[in-house]
Homo-oligomer: A and B are copies of this chain.
Amino acid sequence: MQKLYGLVEAGGTKFNLGVARSKDEVMDVTRIPTTTPPETIAAMIDWFGMRSAEFGAFTAIGVASFGPLQLDRTASDWGYITNTPKPGWANTDLAGPLIRAFGCDVAVDTDVNGAALAEYHWGAGAGGRNVVYLTVGTGIGGGAIVNGEILHGRSHPEMGHMFVAPHPQDTDFSGICPAHGTCLEGLASGPAIIKRWGMSLSESPPDHGGRQIIAYYLAQAVCNLQSILEPDRIIMGGGVMESDGLIEILREQAVKMGGGYFVSDAAAIIQPPMLESKAGLLGALALAERLTRSAN
């Protein structure tokens, strides 16, 4: 029987939905706004119902979502968005309504783990063993593939919340992370940049010192990830990384900071994403396909 996968990229402002038989055979996609959970989930179920009427039963549905998520399969709230600050969305069951409506297996993971998995299979991480995907935007999030498996511990990683040393010219800034102040996200996310300099790095002139400061933090994150995971690739996505020249400065600083200590060359392992806007739905597809494989 031909496989059919339902794909959900659950984001804070929109849900991207898709139906595909494989990476190269995507039947349909749509986008619905993220409003309230009952409304958004009902719209998602409706759309999948119509697609299923047209194309057949789903083999599996993959959900790559904003978090935090409960990913422990033995927990009663597995597949829920848990304590998100997004109004109305705390304790929202994403997996349950899909399982009840379509009777198929559902895979749920974070958007960044989905993106890491998609880049690992089909993008900038292909051929790697340990691959990290780090997104630097409104927040900083990271996912990783270790020995072919998505890295999970008690929960999914929260790589944006690691601690790093302040840049010598940035010691006055108290950071914007409500929990940690000056963790990586508190120092180097998009809102932290705006808060300091009143504009994004993209809007700032090329010689604006902000690029050096932000690269200094991201380079420490790269070194810290090397010190623990020694990955083959650290794929740097998100809006902040689109700033002209930032990735080059980041490579330079990460090499210098590493001091030749790590086996991999930071300049080579730091890569931009290849899948870009497709990473979300392809992540959902990779999650769904993986679920099917592991069930066989």
Residues 197-211 of A, flagged 1 when their CB comes within 8 A of B and 0 if not, give 000000000000000
Query: Is B263 a contact partner of A155 (Cβ separation < 8 A)?
Result: yes
Which of A98-106, A145-153, A240-248, A277-285 contacts its partner? A145-153
Contacts of A182 in B (CB 8 A): 165
Q: In whole angstroms, what is the CA distance A182 to B259 when docked? A: 12
A217 nearest in chain B by CB position:
B163
Q: Is A154 an interface residue (CB 8 A)?
A: yes
A160–B165 Cα distance when bound, in Å, is 15
Is B227 touching A154 in the complex (CB atoms < 8 A)? no
- A228-B228, A230-B153, A259-B179 are known contacts. Are A163 and B161 too (CB-CB below 8 A)? no
Q: Are A147 and B149 in contact (CB under 8 A)?
A: yes
Whether, in the assembled complex, A45 has its beta carbon less than 8 Å from a beta carbon of chain B, the answer is no
Chain A residues 213-232 with CB under 8 Å of chain B are 220, 223-232
- Taken together as a complex, chains A and B put the C-alpha atoms of A188 and B144 apart, in Å, by 28
B165 contacts A264, C-beta separation under 8 Å: no
Residues of B within 8 A of A264 (CB): 153-154
A157 with B223, Cβ < 8 A, contacts A166-B165, A180-B259 known: no
Any B CB within 8 A of the CB of A130: yes
Q: Is there contact, CB below 8 Å, between A165 and B162?
A: no
Most B-side CB within 10 Å, residue of A153, A163, A264: A153
A230 touches B180 (CB 8 A): no
Cβ of A90 within 8 Å of any chain B Cβ, yes or no, is no
A164, A223, A262, A263 — most chain B CB neighbours (10 Å): A263
CB neighbours of A155 from chain B (8 A): 230, 262-263
